[in-house]
Structure 1
């Protein structure tokens, strides 16, 4: 990949006549030609040199033109080379995978993205899906970003290894970058786990690796860059998933500078924590954010101690309020850097916060809202990690299922009177926590909130598959939310949320469009069904039983699985006030 290359050879005249060689001198690659159904199928052999491969293709083209028979090329693809641009369309389980050519400018990237989406639409392909219950989701296909240069030697990640460290550290500091743009399948057993998900000692080892990068860079000379192979050896075994797969990680360096193979030394860094968004402008916003952060860290390397999030990682940042607040911090820091870099008196093109609103609404859809006695209640979808289960016997071998039976929602309340109002779900108080001040473009309580806004997450068993964690726990649907008046021990009102249509499985087919999907989602939220009569607050569980030992593990989330009928929690006369 680092070899000097001249211009590609221009097509010459007629191909030279083939020569008959002795068996000892003949090449070991064979060109297989077969006439089938009126087409000439040519099976290309593996060729390592692009110049020779082009000559071979030219010879095939000339021969096909001479005999007037259409040709279908098969076999091995042309060797990778920075002098050619490729676009590959590959069938993948459930999706069509398209690998586009690199873009050197923003105009090229915009043209490529817009054209790809339009061509897919005209081919009756889509970049979104709808569940039977109306949930709007992505296709499940990735929208991975590959960072590199026109050649391997031009790669900014190889020229400046500290850029890789800056990206890894910044993503670790801002979990919203890992969760807002990802698909539904996240967590330590997903296809793009964060560096701090899974093995708890990874951050400790990563800090040692970063220190070694600095030491080697200081000893390498005046340029202050560590050798590329050192960077690969230091980080390769840390940027993996739980079982050591280097390709299934949020930051994949398989093709950065691996000594193992030529295709592994392309100077490429792959960011895998992005899902295909439903609209081309959303895809461009993702790319713009990544490009802007790369430009920022090229000018100002980002080095800071790694954060031990622990349970807070999933307890807080899987909820829309905290994810939106974290994303707001990213945009604010980026705009501050843009303002500093702009020449004095020059207009500054800032990253508009409203550009990420579609991602927040798509990732955390509003399920319903209502006003109760001056208190605003809102229910939004949240993120729930689905873990891979243990191996089980299946026809033809073993299989590992994913536990998708648990889901999570966020309830937001504004206008609460301290000491009087308590929000409950299925009769259990939810541990409300103050959200960040302000909102992220939308001005809505569930996305960032404002002064006086409190949020909480609720985990619940949505359905009962035959293989899942805790099979003895039943389904918690419907979820009944009440606003309880502690002064009078009565429910002032509330709403009911159904996981499926309240009349049962009323739909046999998937929604045909977004309007039909929205109507199905609206049918599962009812502004009635709250608890009536006197509420016996003396039976409420204690705060310790709500949060679990030692009482602070998941302070923002109520897990209804801990309150199954067969395992009632300890009671306390003092109800949890949230």
Structure 2
């Protein structure tokens, strides 16, 4: 048993002993080996994304989830996007069995012949016979593709309660008396089932229509929106009707009650990435295995969880890798009746900035996709009031219909765990899917940790999930929970965001867990830290061995980018932009360097004060890397080329920041002004960051 498995078993055994089953979900994101096209940078969809998503889904069906069924679903629609985003859903029984028995090896079929256009009406008649009825299809024209044939047949369910409490499925059909001039699909792209002239259905006919379309690429069924069991029966009838035919592509809407009996895995179009929505994982081991499978399948179809920057450098996909906590079902949810445990977790996260900033992407701070609740609202007062009110409900009689405090938690936290615009999805710890009856999919009991980035190694993501699980178990003990929030003030962004401080904070977390018998190996976390903050410059001084700690080390530091005003974009909408022109790096120098050497930036020395032996002084430099449009302070020139002079007893050395901003390169010693005053650009006297914009 590995150390990870031992920690997972120890943590989960504590949760089980407390009657808790904490489930995990995930949303890792992938990109192609050579991501080309706007769908792999800024837009959600494009010509290559659906094809590679289908290839990945088919590989999963063949090698990982044998017997699963693949459904193309319309997804969310956002302002400025013409069509809804799509999502491919694979579903399998929660016991691992196939809900639908397809005759071929895979669905869509890899074996057999496709249905021909001339065979469409006869096949629909055969399907109706298996359902015990006669379908009444209407033939529709496609203005975008004259070769496409599409038939639409109203099909719904009339449920009737029986004396034994069961609900049999009784199918209903209806004629669609549509004039010939109206028998045409709309001009939008996508499956025929999304392009039907439904406004012309008779008022007494439900908007539930089975659509068959046949084109040169094969045949496809758009299924009417049904509950889980009627949908399963319909799909089984489709499978039983095939004979020598290849199974069709399927489109439709996933039943709202699918999660009660089915496991569901999604492949979703998201800006710049392909997002994978994992099935609910009932243990850390399940979560870990899924990430391993995705890494293997991704490699086979040409996808990975990082981008190549050249020179051996890597960055994340640009998408998230969010982790979700929930319960096996809403009747056995771990947080609904344990509010003090939940607020203890939230306070612990607030007191440890590394959990928000170490594992996320380059965008941090109030304008990011995952702002901390205290930096979004600017202070701790309302958060503290809310957490106290929630934890005081522990063990008290509940007036809520469910007998617990799920409504109190949801109604309290969704207003506070939000960004500055009030978007409660954009939060470091989001409660938008916890308990909000007024929102679609708002009552799933999910706590979503969004400050997580896709990393080059899925094993790293598994390690982070293990840290989360260990902390959940650690904080079951009330004495391990902080009793109040910490008011970080300006130090949160000035000091705590620096790489050295993030690592020191994480070391404190690992020490807490080790003392509690949940010791995690720091090596993979150090590897993540090194990947996230690779050195811009390391200077060994007189040391001959690279194993010796450098006398001077510069590493990039996260910088919260400011939000600027609404900007018009194509399509008549407005968008909020951030000014990403600022960069920052941390300066770590040992006492000998501070005593004997000097570091000049663009001709002026940095105020490196002497430090005691074995100690280090925290210092960072903020500079304007580029001037964007639009941006804040357009009159301030960029500080590029950014030049350093390292003045040591053995002579001067010059360095210049590479135009891509990822390393300092040796250069001829640049000029400097003799007697130039040291940089003193601090917003506050107590700040650790020198801002070159203010001299």
TM-score of the superposed pair, with normalisation by structure 2? 0.66
The CA distance in 1 between the partners of 2:204 and 2:234, in whole Å, is: 19
Indicate how the Cα distance of structure 1 residues 21 and 526 shifts in structure 2: closer, same or farther if over 3 A, else same.
Answer: closer
**Pairwise CA distance, 1:132:** 6.5
Is 1:17 paired with 2:132? yes
The CA distance in 1 between the partners of 2:411 and 2:499, in whole Å, is: 37
Is 1:529 paired with 2:669? yes
- 1:76 corresponds to: 253
Moved more, 93-102 or 16-25: 16-25
Is 1:386 paired with 2:561? yes
Contact 2:339 2:393 in 1 (8 A): no
Query: How many residue pairs were aligned?
Result: 500
After TM superposition, list the pairs within 5 Å mapping 1:257-276 onto structure 2: 257-261=435-439, 263-276=441-454
**Pairwise CA distance, 1:430:** 3.1
Deviations, residues 492-524 of structure 1 (Å, cap 9, x unaligned) = 5344231417xxxxxxxxxxxxxxxxxx956x4
Moved more, 357-366 or 74-83: 74-83
Is 1:34 paired with 2:169? no
- 1:471 corresponds to: 634
**Pairwise CA distance, 1:360:** 0.7
In structure 1, stretches of 5+ residues that fail to align are 339-348, 438-449, 502-519, 564-578
Query: Match for 1:357 among 501, 504, 526?
Result: 526
Contact 1:138 1:277 in 2 (8 A): yes
Deviations, residues 167-215 of structure 1 (Å, cap 9, x unaligned) = 22111101111111000111111111111113224x2111111121133
Contact 2:554 2:586 in 1 (8 A): yes
The CA distance in 1 between the partners of 2:605 and 2:290, in whole Å, is: 51
Contact 2:494 2:688 in 1 (8 A): yes
The CA distance in 2 between the partners of 1:327 and 1:214, in whole Å, is: 26
The CA distance in 1 between the partners of 2:325 and 2:372, in whole Å, is: 18
- 2:606 corresponds to: 430
Contact 1:148 1:269 in 2 (8 A): yes
**Pairwise CA distance, 1:151:** 1.5
Query: Match for 2:240 among 42, 53, 62?
Result: 62
Deviations, residues 1-41 of structure 1 (Å, cap 9, x unaligned) = xxxx9999987999440266688986542222233337332
The CA distance in 1 between the partners of 2:286 and 2:576, in whole Å, is: 42
Query: Match for 1:548 among 683, 689, 692?
Result: 683
Is 1:370 paired with 2:539? yes
Deviations, residues 220-260 of structure 1 (Å, cap 9, x unaligned) = 27xxx951111111111001111111111111112212222
**Pairwise CA distance, 1:281:** 1.3
The CA distance in 2 between the partners of 1:35 and 1:396, in whole Å, is: 33
**Pairwise CA distance, 1:118:** 1.3
**Pairwise CA distance, 1:325:** 0.6
Query: Match for 2:582 among 381, 406, 421?
Result: 406
- 1:446 corresponds to: none
The CA distance in 2 between the partners of 1:152 and 1:451, in whole Å, is: 53
Is 1:207 paired with 2:388? no
SS for the counterpart of 1:163 is helix
- 2:406 corresponds to: 228
The CA distance in 2 between the partners of 1:102 and 1:50, in whole Å, is: 18
- 1:50 corresponds to: 228
Indicate how the Cα distance of structure 1 residues 264 and 458 shifts in structure 2: closer, same or farther if over 3 A, else same.
Answer: same
Indicate how the Cα distance of structure 1 residues 37 and 220 shifts in structure 2: closer, same or farther if over 3 A, else same.
Answer: same
The CA distance in 1 between the partners of 2:609 and 2:289, in whole Å, is: 44
Indicate how the Cα distance of structure 1 residues 528 and 456 shifts in structure 2: closer, same or farther if over 3 A, else same.
Answer: farther
The CA distance in 1 between the partners of 2:616 and 2:667, in whole Å, is: 21
- 1:330 corresponds to: 509
Contact 1:407 1:461 in 2 (8 A): yes
SS for the counterpart of 1:147 is strand
The two structures, once aligned, show a CA RMSD in angstroms of 3.3
Indicate how the Cα distance of structure 1 residues 66 and 418 shifts in structure 2: closer, same or farther if over 3 A, else same.
Answer: closer
Contact 1:134 1:521 in 2 (8 A): no
**Pairwise CA distance, 1:71:** 1.4
**Pairwise CA distance, 1:417:** 7.0
After TM superposition, list the pairs within 5 Å mapping 1:291-370 onto structure 2: 291-300=469-478, 302-338=481-517, 350-370=519-539
Moved more, 28-37 or 129-138: 129-138
The CA distance in 2 between the partners of 1:350 and 1:371, in whole Å, is: 33
SS for the counterpart of 2:373 is coil
- 1:285 corresponds to: 463
The CA distance in 2 between the partners of 1:157 and 1:28, in whole Å, is: 38
Query: Match for 1:145 among 297, 302, 323?
Result: 323
After TM superposition, list the pairs within 5 Å mapping 1:151-170 onto structure 2: 151-170=329-348
After TM superposition, list the pairs within 5 Å mapping 1:91-110 onto structure 2: 91-110=269-288
TM-score of the superposed pair, with normalisation by structure 1? 0.78
Indicate how the Cα distance of structure 1 residues 432 and 240 shifts in structure 2: closer, same or farther if over 3 A, else same.
Answer: farther
Contact 2:552 2:593 in 1 (8 A): no
Indicate how the Cα distance of structure 1 residues 131 and 406 shifts in structure 2: closer, same or farther if over 3 A, else same.
Answer: farther
Contact 1:493 1:531 in 2 (8 A): no
The CA distance in 2 between the partners of 1:296 and 1:454, in whole Å, is: 32
The CA distance in 2 between the partners of 1:104 and 1:264, in whole Å, is: 21
SS for the counterpart of 1:459 is strand
SS for the counterpart of 2:475 is helix
Contact 2:591 2:614 in 1 (8 A): no
SS for the counterpart of 2:213 is strand
Indicate how the Cα distance of structure 1 residues 334 and 530 shifts in structure 2: closer, same or farther if over 3 A, else same.
Answer: farther
The CA distance in 2 between the partners of 1:329 and 1:144, in whole Å, is: 23
Query: Match for 1:112 among 264, 272, 290?
Result: 290
SS for the counterpart of 2:377 is coil
Contact 1:40 1:69 in 2 (8 A): no
